[in-house]
Structure 1
Amino acid sequence: MLRQVSDRLLAIVAGSLLALMISINSGLAILNSPLQASWAAHGIGALVAIFLVVVYSRCFRLSQSKANRHKKDNKLISLPSWAYFGGIPGAFTVLLAAITVNSEIGLSGTLACALVGQIVFGMISDHFGWFESEIKAFVLQDLLKVLPIIAGSFLLIFI
């Protein structure tokens, strides 16, 4: 139970940091360009990620072999090649968010639309089992869960 609460709180913090990142990058995009803002964000993000990897590995004393091993049923497995390309949609996310935040929909509209996109893509991905996820068939109840979010996003942007 405590693990579920902490995971949800971490997800809320991640969402807040995403909003902060988009807001900061859009300000940088106004002064330069959305592409330059994306480059700056990812360059600084790479440096911070390297720092965090070093700190994490030292704090938890992970050996190189343990950190790079993934086991399933006591067999060593390797990551699929597509698993290394997560930065590509991330780069487009930063670029497109910097553009849309500076439009008439603003930060809250951008985040609302991004949330709808994430949920819809997630449901499609779950339905087809993309990226080796567990297949979760789409049911009518799922649509009933998404419609209030879409309606709220519509109200946020257009009213």
Structure 2
Amino acid sequence: MQASRKLIFIMPLVALCSGALLALMIKLNSQLALYSSPLWASWIAHGIGAVTVLLMLFLLWSWRRLKGVKFTSYVASPLLPLPWWAYLGGIPGAITVVLAAITVNSELALAGTLALMLMGQLIFSCIFDCYGYFGVVKRRIQLREIIAMMMILLGAMLVIFAR
């Protein structure tokens, strides 16, 4: 029980760091796209990302082996039986990198791009929640969530149009 209480405080911090890294990634990829092309920037980003993840997996595997810790399924056998669509995450990821590299170098800039990306994430996650797509637990959208999305949309519009 104590570990789950710690996670309640740690997970929002992890998500915040993830958002900061997303902004950094988009900015760096858009800079690369300025000197090459959005497609080349995506290719480079995903290649370097794959090498980085492989290095992280190797380091985790080595550390666990050195410590004598029993391997968990994500380290010992990464290709567990999954639904076919679970392997397709790289497709929207690659398209996101390309589109973000294009829009960051437009009048939207980084803040406008991220604001609209956040809005897209919220809308589609609510649709997934309502209909239970991709194995998500079905749940009804609350009025407070709709109000929050409207406020975020207004904030995005302020970021984009109030320059």
Q: Aligned residues: percent identity?
A: 44
Within the alignment, does 1:139 sit opposite 2:148 as a pair?
Answer: no
Structure 2 distance, partners of 1:64, 1:149, is 38
Aligned position for 1:37:
41
Counterpart of 2:57, as a letter, is V
- Relative to structure 1, is the Cα distance of residues 141 and 50 closer, same or farther in structure 2, using a 3 angstrom cutoff? same
Structure 2 distance, partners of 1:21, 1:12, is 14
Within the alignment, does 1:119 sit opposite 2:118 as a pair?
Answer: no
* TM-score (normalizing by structure 1): 0.89
1:26-79 Cα deviation digits (max 9, x unpaired): 000000000100000011111101111111222234277973389xxxxxx831
Describe how 1:58-69 pairs up with structure 2 within 5 A: 58-61=62-65, 62=71, 67-68=76-77
Within the alignment, does 1:49 sit opposite 2:53 as a pair?
Answer: yes
1:117-152 Cα deviation digits (max 9, x unpaired): 001111110110011010011233321121110100
Aligned position for 1:3:
7
* Aligned length in residues: 153
Within the alignment, does 1:154 sit opposite 2:163 as a pair?
Answer: no
Aligned position for 2:68:
none
Higher mean Cα deviation, 116-125 or 56-65? 56-65
* Structure 1 portions without partners, runs of 5+: 71-76
Structure 2 distance, partners of 1:65, 1:2, is 22
Aligned position for 1:73:
none
